[in-house]
Structure 1
Amino acid sequence: MSYVQGDTIVAIATPPGEGGVGIIRLSGPEALQIGQSLCGQIPSGSQPWPARQAHFRRFYSPDGLVIDHGITLYFPAPRSYTGEDVVELQGHGSPLALAALLQACVKHGARAARPGEFTERAFLNGRLDLAQAEAVADLIHARSEAQVRAAAASLEGVFSNAVAAIHAQLLQLLALVEAGLDFSEEDLGAAHDIAIHEGLIALQQQLQQLLLQAGQGARLARGGRVIIAGRPNVGKSSLMNALAQRDAAIVTPVPGTTRDLLREEILLDGLPIELIDTAGLRDSDDLVETEGIARARQILHSAQLILMVADAQTGWQQDDQIILDELPSIPKLLVWNKLDLVDTLPEAPADASACAISALTGLGMAELRAQIMVRMGMDHNVWAFSARERHVEALARAGDKVTEAGCLQKAAGHPELLAQSLREAAHALAQVTGKIDVEDLLGEIFSRFCIGK
């Protein structure tokens, strides 16, 4: 493995603000020299910088003043996070002391790192593949235990290994097809065609399963948005409070109490959801309420799921139908509220999926939460790792190309086109882990990382 050598970069690797410990991270060919310069004269009789051992040192400014004191760690290339020489200076978590240390590193020749540049170097030096590098960011930004577990699985290589296994099978199948091209004048027999046919079927099944898992992982990583809609006074704010498990919205018997969008971050079985309560949809002469209604109609298009709340006491009204007809073509769930006040549920529109609850007593809320997860496309038995939308798109392209290859084999007479379809499928898979030229992706991916990672 040849390691990329560039300039030496430096960044504060701990979050902004005060804390017990603050870490400065250096990476590059001059990391060790710069680190030693910051620590001044090494006590006699000690090894200057033994690898992977913690030592107490004072940190000096270029003019000889003590900035701080703390622990030094040295990780020689290639066995470091970035694959380069890495030095960490672990001092106190004072923003001013860390800023002074950072400036001292720059004066000694380091360059301030770009967001994600440490992880980008880890990728370029073969320490991580691209899917694992993206999992680092997913782990840092995780908002639930489920997201942490999924990101950690991707960082461990669960996703990458699955892609690599399918990629290897695809290349073996491509070799069979190309053998037929190389020896076209010879009859390789029915067994050759059967092996290709069975290989294509196996690849289709494996890609379909992996695509399903990646889709779940991508949904888990990004979370979702659920919007509560309906006419005034049907219990939308009560439903929001029940889902949020706190008094997030004001509830009164007066229609039109909610006049603006109310947002709440909740977790449903590990899935982060932005829950939005909207103003009751109706015609109004109140300028403030009218603006709230306009905002509600505008944001509806951004939801992954709309909870259409209706009053079980009054039954399905003409105003409910008007609202339902106006809603965008996004998955919807009709929620009959006030179940505690009726003996039987009113008849719902024929094409509406519905469930019944009492936001006041909690009756039916467990079933509603389960229904939300189903309509958000989440299945606990499927997700195993974190993923991105670009991974899902690449796997879908690979699956389409394998399906195309299957059709070409059935048609017979076009083995060169079949081979080309398999090459394109392999190319799509390689984009997931960055095993091909992906320079166009790198700037977009790593620019979203925090500085120091």
Structure 2
Amino acid sequence: MTAPLLPIAAIATAPGRGGIGVVRVSGPDVVSIARAVCGQTLKPRHATYLPFLDARGGVIDHGLALYFPAPHSYTGEEVLELQGHGGPVVMQMLLARCLEAGRDIGLRLAEPGEFTRRAFLNDKLDLAQAEAVADLIEASTEAAARSAARSMEGVFSQAIHTLVEKVIHLRMLVEATLDFPEEEIDFLEASDARGQLAAIRESLKGVLKQAKQGALLREGLSVVLAGQPNVGKSSLLNALAGAELAIVTPIAGTTRDRVRETIQIEGIPLHIIDTAGLREDAADEVERIGIERTWEAIGRADVVLHLVDATDYLENGLSEIDDAIDDRLSGHLPPGSPIVRVVNKIDTAPAASDTMFGGNRPHVVAANGPNPTEIWISARTGAGIDLMRRELLRIVGWQSGSEGTFLARERHLTALRCAQSHLDCAAERADQQAQALDLFAEELRLAQEHLNSITGEFTSDDLLGTIFTRFCIGK
């Protein structure tokens, strides 16, 4: 049996001044600290208003004290929470008093995420739920917060558990067949293994689709504005953000460095990055460095908006420079990141083209072969901006009204894709009949391991350390 961990303490509220601050203590024999600081034995799960006392009996503050006996607490251990006035000095004095009172039982300061890590180790939360706690705290949009709350309640975990149960059932049938080969039962036909596997793969496909939506809510999209100087990148940033964030002038090369702003579209955070104009003959060293940083930003982008001038584009098509930019973009982007050509300044396009292009009204030209999607807009007048917002979400696969979406992280997506890959291999083994039955079983086992890694059934200590050290102290 594992020995109980030493007690820990930390300020659980954010740094700075506030109306209320909380000091949290968790571990064995916390009741002795409560008696020392509160001067009395606390009734479990009842808020008691009282003075918090120093070692000489002087009053540090007045506030509420709550005691939660194990295992009915957040961490599964004894927990004491002291709620006082939220001044940083008062909170530090109260924390220091708790550490002093708990010196004999080994009380120490908590590490980042250690309270939630103990909740995980004591089976109060699985790993996906524990991560959702941090995601809820860090949520940047209302939609992300609601999805994180669903993950914390176990919606994501239940979807994974359901998949694992189905895989385990299929594995059980396979293992039984391998253990009794003399029965000469055609396992694949008698147990409808292919049908069961097909159902599992379809369920996993649905979970992965929801997880991708959740990852968009959590991470958002990195959208880089690229193109030659003076094509309206800064104007587009201002139009999307609804504020004058970037300097706009007719002078080419005004933007020398990246300008970043985060906006929301249907709850999805979009990190819009305006960059220095791309051209061969940089005016000076500062502009050259700016262009280098532009390519660095493009290399990390989820979507690149390649802006071109509508007048030039209508008269001459894609210029040699823009054609070269297109080619370099294709080789510079992460795999799967789309390029969208934005034809800007339609308000200044020649009147002669009105008939051909519908009076310069904003519109989208769907991708055709190697050609990217085109969106025709005017960043100056705002024409087509709403159209662009909708098109960005469509391109990345967002579906509005996803009330059942749960928040997901990149590691969850990786695990789901790995499980999907092993199930695909299992389907191939199934088509090879009985001689591949042991390989079929192995693919199922590997798929189950990847699914279990999401909820923490099979998780290395190194991964746990990485996950929980990113939490705030006190949580």
Taking structure 2 as the reference length, the TM-score comes to 0.89
Give how far 1:373 is off: 1.6
* Closer/same/farther in 2, CA of residues 436 and 23 from structure 1, 3 Å limit: same
Q: Deviation per CA, 1:203-236, whole angstroms, max 9, x where unpaired? A: 1111112122212222321122111011111111
Q: Which amino acid letter does the alignment assign opposite residue 360 of structure 1?
A: R
- Say whether residues 1:317 and 2:316 are aligned partners: no
The whole-number CA distance in structure 1 between the counterparts of 2:472 and 2:69 is: 24
- Say whether residues 1:339 and 2:315 are aligned partners: no
Tell which deviates more after alignment, 117-126 or 99-108: 99-108
Select 2:98's aligned residue among 93, 98, 105: 105
- Matching residue of 1:61: 54
Select 2:275's aligned residue among 270, 278, 297: 278
Q: Which amino acid letter does the alignment assign opposite residue 395 of structure 1?
A: L
Give how far 1:95 is off: 0.1
5 Å-filtered alignment, 1:362-441, equals: 362-380=382-400, 384-412=405-433, 413-441=435-463
RMSD: 2.0
- Matching residue of 1:205: 202
Give how far 1:75 is off: 1.0
The whole-number CA distance in structure 1 between the counterparts of 2:219 and 2:415 is: 18
C-alpha contact 1:4 1:125 (8 A) present in aligned 2: no
Select 1:297's aligned residue among 284, 295, 298: 295
Tell which deviates more after alignment, 75-84 or 261-270: 261-270
5 Å-filtered alignment, 1:156-175, equals: 156-175=153-172
Identity of aligned residues (%): 46
Give how far 1:366 is off: 1.4
Give how far 1:318 is off: 2.5
The 3-state SS of whatever aligns with 1:314 is: helix
C-alpha contact 2:377 2:383 (8 A) present in aligned 1: yes
The 3-state SS of whatever aligns with 2:183 is: coil
Q: Which amino acid letter does the alignment assign opposite residue 290 of structure 2?
A: G
Give how far 1:171 is off: 0.6
The whole-number CA distance in structure 1 between the counterparts of 2:157 and 2:200 is: 16
Give how far 1:4 is off: 7.0
The 3-state SS of whatever aligns with 2:192 is: helix
- Matching residue of 2:38: 39
The whole-number CA distance in structure 2 between the counterparts of 1:66 and 1:81 is: 28
The 3-state SS of whatever aligns with 2:16 is: coil
The whole-number CA distance in structure 2 between the counterparts of 1:154 and 1:285 is: 51
- Matching residue of 2:63: 70
- The answer for unaligned runs of 5 or more in structure 2 is none
Tell which deviates more after alignment, 146-155 or 3-12: 3-12
5 Å-filtered alignment, 1:162-311, equals: 162-188=159-185, 192-282=189-279, 283-311=281-309
- Matching residue of 2:111: 114
The whole-number CA distance in structure 2 between the counterparts of 1:24 and 1:190 is: 59
C-alpha contact 2:188 2:194 (8 A) present in aligned 1: no
Q: Deviation per CA, 1:153-208, whole angstroms, max 9, x where unpaired? A: 10011110000001001111111112212221114357854521111111111111
Q: Which amino acid letter does the alignment assign opposite residue 84 of structure 2?
A: G
Taking structure 1 as the reference length, the TM-score comes to 0.94
How many residue pairs were aligned? 446
The whole-number CA distance in structure 2 between the counterparts of 1:141 and 1:452 is: 14
The 3-state SS of whatever aligns with 2:45 is: coil
The whole-number CA distance in structure 2 between the counterparts of 1:3 and 1:216 is: 39
Give how far 1:307 is off: 0.6
Q: Deviation per CA, 1:349-387, whole angstroms, max 9, x where unpaired? A: 961210111112211111111121233343336671011
Tell which deviates more after alignment, 346-355 or 243-252: 346-355
- Matching residue of 1:50: 43
The whole-number CA distance in structure 1 between the counterparts of 2:400 and 2:172 is: 37
Give how far 1:289 is off: 2.3
* Closer/same/farther in 2, CA of residues 6 and 367 from structure 1, 3 Å limit: same
